[in-house]
Structure 1
Amino acid sequence: MLPETEINRVLVVTAHPDDADFGAAGSVALFVDKGVEVTYLLVTDGDAGGNERTLDNSGMADLRRAEQRAAAKAVGVTDVRFLGYADGQVVPSLELRRAIARVIRQVRPDLVITHHPDRNYRFVAPSHPDHRAVGGAALDAVYPDARNPYAFPELLREEGLEAWTVREVWLNGGMNPNHWVDVTEAMDRKLAALQSHVSQVSHVEGFADFVKSRFAAWAEEAGLGEGRYAEAFQVVPTD
């Protein structure tokens, strides 16, 4: 794995507002504590989600962008970007690969965190079609697109964005994680980030306990013991 001392910039690529917070907000908080620069890139505005249907899709998109910025602030992230794709309609297209590759070349991250592109048969929630599409497109943007100066040459020719090699990818939501991060000391911040998504979670009775139990289970699987919380990833080297 990439040594922590060599991780200076992280790009988190997700489909919807709240995905980063469910999957990686604890790890992000710990990175920020160490001075790592973290950027969130959201492919959609999440306008098809939520229970507050007095809002039309445009109003929901505005609300969810605001909630995501508040959630990011809870873990110390200030750079939050949106691509504006339609919620529920994302496919791993060349256009999406180019858009993600553009941001990789702008941010120049050492590590990318994104969705697992495969369906999870143990737990269905991570397998939203948008998640799988974004994970696949993000991996393609990491390799080969962002590092290949001949891929999407207009990024260099018109925008001056030089090729960039991401050194490692962490996938969340997959069936077979091989890396766990102890996020116990950041669990309160992770929970605060998740609770910032009022339109998504305010109606869920016992939400905090549900979140804690899920990430306590990951800690148990990781062998961290009782009273600990962990986030789980599959590490993909890119060499």
Structure 2
Amino acid sequence: MNKEMLLIFAHPDDESFALGGTIAKYAEQGVKITLVVATRGEAGKAAGLCKQEELGLFREQELSRAAKVLGITEVIFLDYKDKEVPISPSLEIVEKLVRIIRKVQPQVIITFGADGSSGHRDHRAIHHFTKAAIKLAKEFIEPEWGDPYILPRLCYVKAGWRLADNVLKGLDYIIEIKPWAEKKKRAIEEHKTQLFSQQKFEALDQKIKEDYYSREYFQCDFELSAFPGRGKDIFADMERVGS
């Protein structure tokens, strides 16, 4: 069985900061990984590396390099404006996502949880758009969007450094990433415009930083997953799919 993972996020850099180790791990195992990005992050800070009007293209190039480091197979931009995802055409966004889900047919989709990890409005919006698309993708509607597809597993990446230990221990998937920590670091470094975020991270407690490069955390949506689960392998039991 060919393994497919679909990542749906809001900005270039979300993938590297949030789950770079997990991406690198599964890419090394032969999983085909497709990344969908809602915006090009053009409303962020240029960090003196380019003109503000050039930032979208600059960040697209940063993501291209980071994707190569992590082993991402394909990057798809939805082309919405940074910081305006919640007020973008919702039905249009959902249609685009349904088409992608039906085409890729991933065993696993990963996106932000309802809190958006950092609370960013674009992060929270892409969570809800993704859930809507997963629900629609399995229905016998709009055949020109592709054949209906029932998603085996939906997971939300959780920001470990923001959560208490008892909450972390209760999450569904804890992925060990130490062997891929260097790739995660290299991918983050490719996002040079995110200097401020990198500096904030360096100021954190050493224990938090060690955990950040050792484990990544995920919550499984048991309602929208045909084959929900828990454990140390986000692809565990996928052999049941289609059986």
TM-score by length of 1: 0.80
| 1:65 has 2:60 as partner | yes
Distance 2:2 2:154 in 1: 12
The amino acid across from 1:149 in the alignment is F
| 1:137 has 2:122 as partner | no
**What does residue 112 of structure 2 align with?**
115
Cα distance change of structure 1 residues 7 and 211 upon mapping to structure 2, 3 Å threshold: farther
**What does residue 82 of structure 2 align with?**
87
**What does residue 148 of structure 1 align with?**
139
SS in 2 for 1:127: coil
The amino acid across from 1:232 in the alignment is Y
Q: What is the CA distance between 1:209 and its match in structure 2?
A: 7.6
Cα distance change of structure 1 residues 202 and 117 upon mapping to structure 2, 3 Å threshold: closer
Percent of matched pairs sharing the same residue: 26
**What does residue 103 of structure 1 align with?**
100
Q: What is the CA distance between 1:205 and its match in structure 2?
A: 4.1
**What does residue 221 of structure 2 align with?**
236
For 1:194-213, what per-residue CA distance to the aligned partner results, in whole angstroms no more than 9, with x for missing partners?
Answer: 11001112784485685975
For 1:155-195, what per-residue CA distance to the aligned partner results, in whole angstroms no more than 9, with x for missing partners?
Answer: x23x5x11111111110136653321000100000111111
**What does residue 192 of structure 1 align with?**
186
User: Is the Cα contact below 8 Å between 2:47 and 2:195 reproduced in 1?
Assistant: no
Q: What is the CA distance between 1:91 and its match in structure 2?
A: 1.6
Distance 1:44 1:214 in 2: 29
How is 1:1-12 mapped onto 2 (pairs within 5 angstroms)? Answer: 8-12=3-7
| 1:15 has 2:10 as partner | yes
The amino acid across from 2:147 in the alignment is E
TM-score by length of 2: 0.78
Match of 2:41 among 46, 50, 63: 46
User: Is the Cα contact below 8 Å between 1:126 and 1:173 reproduced in 2?
Assistant: no
When the two structures are aligned, how many residues end up with a matched partner?
212
Pairwise CA RMSD of aligned residues?
Answer: 2.5
Unaligned runs of 5+ in 1: 1-5, 120-124, 219-227
**What does residue 164 of structure 1 align with?**
149
Distance 2:215 2:197 in 1: 25
Q: What is the CA distance between 1:49 and its match in structure 2?
A: 1.2
Q: What is the CA distance between 1:24 and its match in structure 2?
A: 1.3
Distance 1:76 1:63 in 2: 20
The amino acid across from 1:198 in the alignment is K
Q: What is the CA distance between 1:106 and its match in structure 2?
A: 1.4
Match of 1:28 among 17, 23, 32: 23
Unaligned runs of 5+ in 2: 227-243
Cα distance change of structure 1 residues 107 and 211 upon mapping to structure 2, 3 Å threshold: farther
